[in-house]
Structure 1
Amino acid sequence: MRLNNHLDDVASSTSSHCGTLSWVGMEGIALPLQVAGQMIAARASAGVSLDDPEARGIHMSRLYLALAELEHQELSLANIRSVLDTFLNSHLGLSERAFIDLNGEALLRRPALISPLSGWKTYPFALRCRRNATGLQSILEVSVGYSSTCPCSAALSRQLIQQAFEEDFNDIPVDREAVHAWLGSDQAILATPHSQRSHAHLTLRLTPDIDEMPFLAVIDRIEKTLGTALQTAVKRIDEQAFSLANGQNLMFCEDAARRLHNMLSNQPTIEGFSLRVVHAESLHAHDAVARSEWNWETQP
């Protein structure tokens, strides 16, 4: 059978069931992206509104092909804006709004605390962008893991250590060498605070006038604010430094949420956010959770 080079555009035809639709497009598109200098395997959803009530459908292949612009350069809001403009320009008279959602795991090399070692960590993220006549609206979602040590359990552990010290030195003259030796013995470590792997889940509304993706800067600020970022490759000196960081950053979930709230509300690239921190308790069989929002009632 010989193929016909002239094919009718069925999508541009009208039918008795035409009308406007808020979103038409594709979901789950495989798409390579470059984030923070590393190529990752991502998934994209792309669409436009169908505002012409007489049109039967949109041109989905035009959306798919336009996404190729994101493949070969660092992901940025300027590039997203350009692709969304291409969506709309290729659907003149059909669509007034365009959408892109990207999901993936950014791959970042993170250094050890003290030693020269380093390793890779993944950071799940989503970027949700909307383009209309008023401009670009962008929502960045990111999850960051950290360690949290319970202040209550730390206080209870200190109390037990004090009691053990009183019992062991009740009838013994206290001198510096004896105390030093006792602190390095098993008797002094009869109780330890409980810690847990924790996660901060952030949804950030970015200011509309920025071109670069503030992804790496946001990650760095979150980990610096919490002070106990999860580690990759470590030596014993790094593990000791991590123990010190946990001891100096005792946190209930409320403390972590307030730290992040105060930091995020002062970032010039963020105009609103919603955050949720989860401490996966090692004492209880349930999680401890805290939430906070700032300028979030006007989210798109």
Structure 2
Amino acid sequence: MNPIRPMPDVALDRAASARTLDRVGMAGIALPVRTRSATGEAMQVPARVDVHVDLRDPHARGIHMSRLYLRLQHAFAAEEMTPAGLARVLEALVETQAGLAGTGQLVIRFDHLLLRPALASANAGWKAYPVEVDAQLADGELMLSLGVAVDYSSTCPASAALSRQMASEAFARQFGADGDIPAAAARDWLHSEAGLVATPHAQRSRAEVRVRLADGLTALPIADLIDRVELALGTPVQTAVKREDEQAFAALNARNLMFCEDAARRVAHALSMDPHVRRFEARVAHFESLHAHDAVASVAGEGGAP
């Protein structure tokens, strides 16, 4: 009987061109990750994970890819997605490389669900927010970045001003420039289709925020960051909507007329006061209903963390 020979491992061959590599790994791995809801309840969400380590031996042809994958599966099954948990996962991933690697990175993408109450009615609905967590370990130090995307409505201030002008001119034509106008007649006219001369254009918009988190956090401030951005913008898109909610939303838009520049400044101000944030980058996009192109603005700055 022939003896069983070990299977070849060409990854152990010497590299043809000796060079260290900054990142080697896998992208788009499907994994369930453990996190917590806004109320502190433990939950598991489906995620896509990118994992990388460096290859610091210039003569090594490749890393131990299968070890990296298998340890990732076991590590995430045991660890909650907290700063401390992510640090332990990264340490375990680097250890699988038996000295070939010294740094590690995880990029985790998933949707974070939050239950949002309606504006006026007694209803509520779930909203999904795209989230990206970027965790990097180098020289024993953990660096964490958090990205979220928030959809909102933006009503154009210029379009609103033009609509108001047309309404005032139509009102003057209807009732004349002089004399007393019966309140009931004015109210009936404003309530009729004749009183709706023009409407300002509005559109769904999106704020994409990426922040470098402060050191020493015990949890990822996902819900807090989302809430802070939505509060700054004032017009987040809704879930459950009855007529009274739609009317309340129209009123919110009237109180929060925004160019993309206005929206970017609002988000920047909110993030500059956030004690969880060291640095931030924000990009807003208004998906125009008037133009065939989008209006965009970007801003970066320092957060409120010491």
Normalising by structure 2, report the TM-score: 0.88
Taking structure 1 as reference, are residues 2 and 17 closer, same or farther at Cα in structure 2, changes over 3 Å only?
Answer: farther
> Is it true that 1:26 corresponds to 2:26 in the alignment?
yes
1:98 to 94, 104, 117: 104
Aligned to 1:40: 45
C-alpha distance in 2 between matches for 1:154 and 1:194? 8
Identical residues among aligned pairs (%): 45
| Secondary structure at the counterpart of residue 23 of structure 1 | strand
Deviations 1:52-111 (A, max 9, x none): 234333222332233233246652222111100111233342211111111222232222
1:66 to 48, 59, 71: 71
> Is it true that 1:262 corresponds to 2:264 in the alignment?
no
Aligned to 2:120: 114
Task: Report which stretch shifted further, 233-242 or 8-17.
Answer: 8-17
| Secondary structure at the counterpart of residue 167 of structure 1 | helix
Aligned to 1:175: 182
How much has 1:7 moved relative to structure 2? 5.8
Contact 2:71–2:96 (CA under 8 A) maintained in structure 1: no
C-alpha distance in 2 between matches for 1:47 and 1:36? 25
> Is it true that 1:216 corresponds to 2:233 in the alignment?
no
Aligned to 2:40: none
Contact 2:79–2:89 (CA under 8 A) maintained in structure 1: no
How much has 1:214 moved relative to structure 2? 1.0
How much has 1:8 moved relative to structure 2? 6.7
| Secondary structure at the counterpart of residue 210 of structure 1 | coil
Contact 1:145–1:230 (CA under 8 A) maintained in structure 2: yes
Contact 2:15–2:58 (CA under 8 A) maintained in structure 1: no
Taking structure 1 as reference, are residues 2 and 210 closer, same or farther at Cα in structure 2, changes over 3 Å only?
Answer: farther
Letter in 1 for 2:60: A
Aligned to 2:203: 196
Aligned to 2:249: 242
Q: CA RMSD in A?
A: 2.4
Aligned to 1:271: 278
Count, aligned residues = 296
C-alpha distance in 2 between matches for 1:82 and 1:131? 10
Letter in 2 for 1:240: Q
Deviations 1:255-283 (A, max 9, x none): 10000001101111111111110011111
Task: Report which stretch shifted further, 44-53 or 29-38.
Answer: 29-38
Letter in 2 for 1:55: A
Aligned to 2:83: 77
> Is it true that 1:139 corresponds to 2:141 in the alignment?
no
Unaligned runs of 5+ in 2: 38-42
C-alpha distance in 1 between matches for 2:251 and 2:108? 38
